[in-house]
Chains A and B, each alone.
Chain A
Amino acid sequence: MKPFGYERATDPQAAATLVADSTGAVYLAGGTNLVDLMKLGVTEPALLVDITGLPYDSVEHRPDGGVLIGALVPGSRLAGDPGIRERFPALAEALLSGASGQLRTVATTGGNLLQRTRCVYFQDVTKPCNKRRPETGCSAVQGLHRDLAVLGTSDFCVAGHPSDMAVALAALDAVVHLRRVKGSARTVPLNGFYLLPGDTPHRETVLQPGDLITGVELPPPPEGAAMSYRKVRDRWSYAFALVSVAAVVATEADGTLREIRLGLGGVGARPWRAREAERLLTGRQPTEERLREAARAEFASARPLPQNAFKIDLAVDVITAAVRDLVGGQRR
């Protein structure tokens, strides 16, 4: 771990200026992932700009049913927010299924979006990793990749995005609010926020140097929608998803799917929005067979590896069960 500077930002402009003016400066919020990576030598920032004093820590519910979540709202508070629990239960469930109570108390909404992959090779500086050090090679393809992604991967990188929260946000059509270095505001849909690895897996998001996440906006959920977050993992708490599904479903009186949105975790290089499955299901009756076919179609482009090929069948089963339970009025 290298020595680093630490500054506590008192206002957004001061924070942006500090980060823009020094090489190797990064924002520090909860630090639950960043500090670990610093200890491991995976990232070696010269300066941490602590933004926890900035005014992005409220949950503002809007009259139209939407909500703006401040970037510094910790996961525990967001999961316990009555409006979130009532109108966006899939988000509350996703948050509570992730990390541990201690981590959720500290980890922030903005930081959660920027979590790095838990690929074991990314975190081990003695081994090659294209994401950590471009053009050194990928150790995971021929090595341990059970927990890694099957969708959106490339020959250069098969890392998965670890967030549960972001999977729910993907299904909820979240919009990320940014503050540019000069102070202007910019919004990016969550589903356009992450870059696929391609041949540049070290580039993970559309953020420009100095951009600061200020919040995440959720539009009102579809009228009459039911939603859930279902996570499959190796133990019943404190484990990343093998497969997770955030499902938002609204049906017509005759049972056809008026709107369906599916976010997938544990399978994608980014929080995965299952657009193909949604397309095949929208306006249709959600029969068991059709659900299964649509879910499978989402994985037509999957690149399974020996240890994680099981995730495709598992995801098909979980998507099918999750939607079936929602249209059947069952919540697990």
Chain B
Amino acid sequence: MTTLQRTVGAEVTRVEGREKVTGAALYAYEYPVPDALYAWAVQSTVPRGTVRAVDTVAALSLPGVVAVLDSRNVTRLRPTDTPELAVLQSPEVAYRGQIVAAVVADTFETARQAAAAVRVEYDVDDHDAELMDGDPRIFVPETVNGGYPGHAETGDVEAALAAAPVVLDATYTTPPEHTATMEPHATIAVWDGDTLTLYNGDQAPWMTAARVAELFGLPEGAVRIVADHTGGGFGSKAIPRPPTVLAALAARAVGRPVKVAATRQQMFTMVSYRTPTLQRIRLGAERDGRLTAIWHDALQQSSTLTPYCEQTVTCTRVMYAARHRRTTHRLAQLDVPTPSWMRAPGEAPGMFALESAMDELAVALGMDPIDLRVANEPSVDPGTGHPFSSRNLVACLREGAARFGWAGRDPAPGRRREGEWLLGTGVAACNYPALTWPSTANARVEPGGGFTVRIAAADMGTGARTALTQVAADELGVEIDRVTLDIGRSAYGQAPWAGGSMGLSSWGWAVSKACRALTKRLDEVSGAIPPGGLEERADTAEDVEARRAFSRHAYGAQFAEVRVDAVTGQVRVDRLLGMFAAGRVINPRTAGSQLRGGMCMGLSMALHENLEPDPRFGDFANHDLATYHIAASADVRDVQAHWLEETDDELNPMGSKGIGELGIVGTAAAIANAVYHATGVRVRDLPITVERVRAGPPAGPSAGLSAGPSAR
């Protein structure tokens, strides 16, 4: 027998890679379900009101149309804490784009045609879909997403600001953004008596099953989710969205399997988007850079259905030391679609503001922005007072600076030129909570010696399936090709979502525990596997609960090098370098891919992504990928992700921290800071468009850039 290779830490290629590149991997809509019909949603064309009448005559007259559903003829669902899932439960319209009817037909094309023929009449109410500071309805939520307090305060921030020799007070905005997954939201619903199977693009098979069962008043286990592969989720598939519920309702109504796939246009109102934010940051500092006061206020929106409030200022509670601190979320509930999680919800927009503000403060102090951050490194979590399980922000800043070539940087803006281009560099810190939730997993060995591990995890392209296989193989002490890792089925038992970057840490713990138990059993029987095989089930609920109170976060430093066209204001990101500390990296190949992918999302957030609310209509004016821009290949040049060796025994058996979202955080600020360094123009509103670069001071040729060749 050859020496066994440990696989954790090795660059294992994706176990489902061949299946995916050959097209064999099935996504939700592709399962060969016989006898299926197709449902197409009719969406509200008013932002607020009541459906008065649904004229189905024309639709029903089309050959192939089986049913037209509206609030009068579908199954009653149980009350839910997620009201946007109460699909077709009432004639009330709470947002433009809400599902108000649906057509079920024998082909996709007929369903679509018939949906366009359904005439819906409304009693229209006045609506308010515009997020405005000063709106008297704005309130401070008790808690925000993730269970964090809506408001937190220590000391006297106002007095500290008044006394501070250097004060920064700036307002930053981020626009609404959309997850825009490659795989649209798609479901096939199949009822068998009171058992429902949903083939679903899904980040959380077990949680979705539980939620749908609750909605339909079914016992636990009566709903099964099949989600072997998911084509991107970014938060939007962490819970079922209206198209999934529609599929189940429609299949129930017609007594046959029903397929639903949202179009790209439908996605923009039917599934989650990121709230816009308006953030004011006030920092007070001593002349040596030490912060005395931090005040971060974020105004955001939700729908009238749900007071979803993104945890935008929570990163500020963790990042820097200062005696006087105040962090507040404010929320306005408007007649708009419901925002939800998207790519580092909270941290991504919050750290754009905080890390831009830190850069501005460094400029005001005449201090290197890395030194400023180091000077404010806290010894314990400033928000909770808990010790850090590990925190290597300073090491990331230092090591990242060395690799990036930061030393000797002239801080003066607008000084570096290459032909028509203005060049600049910028830095920002990042952090993301290292979350772990309880999970269950099963490990099984067959008499032939093959191992199967089952867990209701999800892999939306992250590499989770591969990394879990590595964890299992090492724990079992076998070569990786002897382990089959099955995920994506709710039937495998309780497991958290691929969300909040908690997947691998949570699932890996359960896989590790189950495999350890199985190994023990194998030892007990001296390897004599009985004919029925051996199986062990693990549940980490008590283990997770028993962990001591620590502030657990991953950290990193983002560096950006940009060039800005002095004639036009176009920004080009020549180089991104991220230096991260995220515990133990299970698979450098997929981890690097995730981190670089996150950095690309941060780049896209910095320069491109921008949903345009149209308050007159109550939806977003742009709703396709031609008008909602995401970074294209040509926008992404040199992107590097590196990480430090970090040992942390207070996390989980693997010692891992989540990395799915870490790479997103801070990137936009690093780019904005580099744009300032290149041009002298501080863009505080995302995305960084040409008109924003051109509008900023100091004045340039016609509109704004310093040192243009054609300066008047």
Question: Is the pair B634, A237 in contact by a Cβ cutoff of 8 Å?
Answer: yes
> Which of B45, B116, B632, B710 is the one whose CB lies under 8 Å from A292?
B710
B632 CB contact (under 8 Å) in A1, A139, A236, A288:
A236
State whether A235 touches B703 (Cβ < 8 A): no
Neighbour of A234 across the interface among B608, B614, B694, B710, CB < 8 A: B608
Residue among A235, A238, A318, A321 with max Cβ neighbours from chain B (10 Å): A235
From A47-55, A216-224, A308-316, give the one contacting chain B. A308-316
Cβ of B394 within 8 Å of any chain A Cβ, yes or no, is no
Q: How far is the CB of B679 from chain A (nearest CB, A)?
A: 14
In-complex Cβ contact of A41 among B116, B616, B623, B691 (8 A): B116
Q: Which residues of B sit under 8 angstroms from A235, Cβ to Cβ? A: 607-608, 629, 631-632, 634-635
Contact between B694 and A313, CB atoms less than 8 A apart: yes
A residues less than 8 Å from B623 (CB atoms): 120, 124
Q: How far is the CA of A232 from the CA of B622 in the complex (A)?
A: 20
Residue B621 CB within 8 A of the other chain: yes
Let me know if B265 is at the binding interface, CB within 8 A. Answer: yes
> Could you say which of B626, B632, B690, B702 has the most chain A C-beta atoms within 10 Å of its C-beta?
B702
Asked whether A242 and B627 contact (CB < 8 A) given A232-B568, A232-B570, A288-B710, the answer is no
Which has the most chain A C-beta neighbours within 10 Å: B113, B568, B612? B568
Q: Is A143 at the interface (CB under 8 A from chain B)?
A: yes
B110 and chain A: residue at smallest CB distance: A3
Nearest-neighbor residue (CB-CB) of B607 within chain A:
A235
State A239–B570 Cα separation when bound (angstroms).
13
Cβ of A304 to closest chain B Cβ, rounded Å: 12
A252 CB-CB contact with B under 8 Å: no
The complex places the Cα of A29 from the Cα of B373 at a distance, in Å, of 59
Interchain nearest-CB distance for B27 vs A (Å): 21
Cβ contacts under 8 Å, B113 to chain A: 1-3
How distant is B106 from chain A, measured CB to nearest CB, in Å? 14
Nearest CB on B from A209, distance (A) = 26
Q: Chain A residues with Cβ under 8 A from B614's Cβ?
A: 143-144
List residues of chain A with CB within 8 A of the CB of B608. Answer: 234-235
Q: How many A-B contacts are there with CB distance less than 8 Å? A: 104
Complex CA gap A234/B616 in Å reads: 25
**Is the C-beta of A121 less than 8 angstroms from some C-beta in chain B?**
yes
Q: Contact at B702–A313, with CB atoms within 8 Å?
A: yes
Q: Is there contact, CB below 8 Å, between A314 and B627?
A: no
Complex alpha-carbon distance, A317 and B712, angstroms: 11
In Å, the complex CA distance between A40 and B622 comes to: 14
Contact indicator per residue, chain B 324-366, by CB within 8 Å of chain A (1) or not (0)? 0000000000000000000000000000000000000000000
Closest A residue to B116 by CB, please name it. Answer: A41
B567 interfacial by beta-carbon distance below 8 Å: yes
Cβ of B560 to closest chain A Cβ, rounded Å:
16
Q: Which residues in A have their C-beta under 8 angstroms from that of B265?
A: 40
B701 part of interface (Cβ distance < 8 Å): yes
Rounded to whole Å, the gap between the CB of A307 and the closest CB of chain B is: 9
Shortest Cβ distance from B182 into chain A, in angstroms?
15
- B689–A234 touching, CB < 8 Å: yes
Measured in the bound complex, the distance between the Cα atoms of B616 and A144 in whole Å is: 11
What CA separation (Å) do A234 and B634 show in the bound complex?
Answer: 12
- Assembly CA distance A24 to B572 (angstroms): 46
Contacts of B617 in A (CB 8 A): 126-127, 139, 143
B632 touches A237 (CB 8 A): yes
Instruction: Give the interface size bracket for B toward A.
Output: 35 or more
Given that A235-B632, A313-B703, A317-B702 are known contacts, is A143 also in contact with B694, CB under 8 Å in the complex? Answer: no
Interfacial chain B residues near A237, Cβ < 8 Å: 632-635
Instruction: State whether B621 touches A143 (Cβ < 8 A).
Output: yes
Smallest CB–CB gap between A119 and chain B, Å? 9
Establish whether residues A310 and B695, one from each chain, have CB atoms under 8 Å apart when the complex forms. Answer: yes
Asked whether A314 and B710 contact (CB < 8 A) given A121-B621, A144-B622, A236-B635, the answer is no
Given known A-B contacts A236-B572, A238-B632, A314 and B621 have beta carbons under 8 A apart = no
Q: Which of A40, A144, A310, A313 contacts B621 (CB 8 A)?
A: A144
Contact B710 A324 (CB under 8 A): yes
Are A310 and B691 in contact, with the CB atoms below 8 A? Answer: yes
* Chain A residue nearest to B112 in the complex (CB): A1
Partner of B710, one of A1, A121, A236, A321: A321
On chain A, the residues within 8 Å of B703 by CB distance are 310, 313-314, 317
Chain A residue with the shortest CB-CB distance to B628: A120
Whether B694 lies near A142 (C-beta < 8 A) is no
Q: Which chain A residue shows the least CB distance to B695?
A: A310
Verify if A77 is at the interface (C-beta below 8 Å from B).
no
With an 8 A cutoff between CB atoms, is A87 at the interface? Answer: no
Tell me which residues across on chain A come within 8 A of B710, comparing CB atoms. Answer: 288, 292, 317, 320-321, 324
Within 8 A of B (CB), among A234-250: 234-240, 242-243
Residues of B within 8 A of A316 (CB): 702
Set of chain B residues within 8 Å of A127, measured between Cβ atoms: 617
> For residue A307, which residue of chain B has the nearest CB?
B691
What 1/0 flags go to A1-20 for Cβ under 8 Å of B?
11100000000000000000
Let me know if B169 is at the binding interface, CB within 8 A: no
Q: How far is the CA of A315 from the CA of B443 in the complex (A)?
A: 65
Cβ A321 vs Cβ B567 within 8 A: yes
For the complex, is B109 an interface residue (Cβ under 8 Å from A)? Answer: yes
A236 cross-chain contacts in B, Cβ below 8 A: 572, 632, 634-635
Q: Determine whether A118 belongs to the interface, using a CB cutoff of 8 Å to chain B.
A: yes
In the complex, which residue of chain A has the Cβ closest to the Cβ of B44?
A126
Task: Tell me the complex Cα distance, A326–B567, Å.
Answer: 15
With beta carbons under 8 angstroms apart, the residue of A39, A118, A121, A314 that contacts B568 is A314
Of B607, B616, B691, B701, which is within 8 A of A317 by CB?
B701
Cα separation A317 to B709 with both chains bound (whole Å): 10
Interface string of B681-712 (1 = CB under 8 A from A): 00000000111001100000111000011101
Which residue in chain B gives the minimum CB-CB distance to A316?
Answer: B702
Chain B residue, CB-CB nearest to A239: B629
Measured CB to CB, the nearest residue on chain B to A234 is B629
What's the minimum C-beta distance from B112 to chain A, rounded to whole angstroms?
A: 6
Q: Tell me the bound Cα distance from A233 to B629 in angstroms.
A: 11
A38 vs B607: C-alpha distance when bound (angstroms): 31
Shortest beta-carbon distance from A42 to chain B in Å = 12
Asked whether A242 lies within 8 Å of B701 as measured between CB atoms, the reply is: no
Give the chain B neighbours of A320 by CB distance below 8 A: 710
A168 CB to closest chain B CB, in angstroms? 18
Q: Is the CB of B627 within 8 A of A118?
A: yes
A118 contacts across to B, CB distance below 8 A: 626-627
Smallest Cβ distance from A286 to chain B, in angstroms? Answer: 12
- B65: shortest Cβ distance to chain A, in Å? 13
Of A123, A240, A288, A310, the most chain B CB neighbours within 10 A belong to: A310
Residues of A within 8 A of B631 (CB): 235
Closest to B572 in A: A236
* Bound Cα distance A332, B570 (Å): 15
Q: Are A317 and B568 CB-contacts (below 8 A) given A127-B617, A238-B632, A292-B710?
A: yes
A255 to B45, CA, bound (A): 60
Binary per-residue interface labels of chain B (604-627) against chain A in the complex, 1 for a CB within 8 Å, 0 otherwise? 000110001010110001111011
Q: Which residue of A lies closest to B612 (CB)?
A: A144
Bitwise interface map of A from 108 to 152 toward B, beta carbon under 8 Å scored 1, else 0: 000000000010110110110000000000010011100100000
Contact B627 A310 (CB under 8 A): no
Chain B residues with Cβ below 8 Å from A234 are 607-608, 629, 689-690
Asked if residues A314 and B45 are in contact (CB atoms below 8 Å), the reply is: no
Look across to chain A and name the residue whose beta carbon is closest to the beta carbon of B109: A1
Residue from A40, A234, A236, A238 having most chain B Cβ neighbours under 10 A? A236
Bound-state Cα–Cα, A117 to B701, Å = 31
Return chain B residues, CB-CB under 8 Å to A243.
568
Q: Which residue of A lies closest to B703 (CB)?
A: A313
A239 vs chain B, min Cβ distance (A): 6
Q: List 15 A-B contacts (CB under 8 A).
A: A2-B116, A118-B627, A120-B627, A124-B621, A126-B45, A143-B621, A144-B614, A234-B607, A234-B608, A234-B690, A237-B632, A314-B694, A314-B703, A316-B702, A324-B710
Besides the known contacts A238-B634, A240-B626, A310-B691, 4 further A-B residue pairs in the complex with CB atoms under 8 A apart = A237-B633, A243-B568, A313-B694, A314-B703
User: 4 shortest A-B CB distances, which residue pairs?
Assistant: A313-B702, A236-B634, A237-B634, A144-B621
